[in-house]
Amino acid sequence: MRRSLFVVPMLAATVLCGCASTSSGSSGSAGSSASPTAGPSAAVKLANLDGIGHPSAAQIAEYQQALTTLTNGCGGTDDENAALVYATRELEAKDGVHDSELTIAQAVAQSAATGAVKGCKGLFAAYATLRDPN
């Protein structure tokens, strides 16, 4: 399957998973203001999507480190980058590839760490294309 329409599933996933909420108090999110009623962080949301109902502090730290590397390397917020992780996983699953959110976040974060790319969407699109089994 060609990945040329990668943006449409990303936008749909952003709405469906709620990862792009700007009211989230996720640490490392640029422009987010934490409030006493803020929901779980983007790292916790990704851990939950990976089937970890009550992630430990160490587990959350793994997800957060990947999100922080993405944010520092190619911009966006934790919530925006978590939505890209989720969209990539959903796209892969349709093609029979079953990576976890953490695996995807860490793999793309390695590329983002160079700081050579502004905007993570291209990195996620490249990752999904390379993981395409067809």
pLDDT in tens, 49-100: 999 999 999 999 999 999 999 999 999 999 999 999 999 999 999 989 999 9
CB 70 within 8 A of CB 109: yes
C-alpha span between 58 and 5 (Å, rounded) = 36
Q: Please give the structure tokens belonging to residue 4.
A: 């040329």
How would DSSP label each residue in 8-37? HHHHHHHHHH-TT-TT---TT-TT----TT
Nearest to 50 by CA among 103, 6, 14, 96: 103
User: pTM score, two decimals?
Assistant: 0.73
Nearest to 29 by CA among 44, 50, 16: 44
Cα dist from 126 to 31, 66, 122, whole Å = 27, 17, 6
Task: Break the chain into its structural domains and give their ranges.
Answer: 39-131
Whether the predicted pLDDT of 40 surpasses 60? yes
pLDDT at residue 37, rounded to an integer: 66
